[in-house]
Amino acid sequence: MDVVTLAELLRETSEHHDHYEKTHAEHHWWDWYAPYLSARQNGSSPEEAVAAANRYMDEVHHVPAK
């Protein structure tokens, strides 16, 4: 992946993470970013990637909503 594409994907990820961060307990941002980025790189839509990242946080890290 070239740098420009990666930068755009990171920007997109931060925009989607913003909502999660505001609605869930304190957590390490990279724990949410990793499954989101992985899903997007594997062809998921942004909405599917959000769902994948949220599932990961719920199942693995048990980060409760505020």
What pLDDT is recorded for position 9?
97
Three-state SS for 57? helix
| pLDDT tens digits in sequence order for the chain, 66 residues long | 899 999 999 999 999 999 999 999 999 999 999 999 999 999 999 999 999 999 999 999 888 888
Statement: the pTM of the whole predicted model exceeds 0.75: yes
Task: Tell me the C-alpha distance between 8 and 26, whole Å.
Answer: 25
- Where along the chain do its domains lie? 3-61
What pLDDT is recorded for position 32?
97
Task: Tell me the C-alpha distance between 44 and 64, whole Å.
Answer: 25
What pLDDT is recorded for position 42?
96
For 62, list phi and psi in degrees, rounded to 5. 50, 50
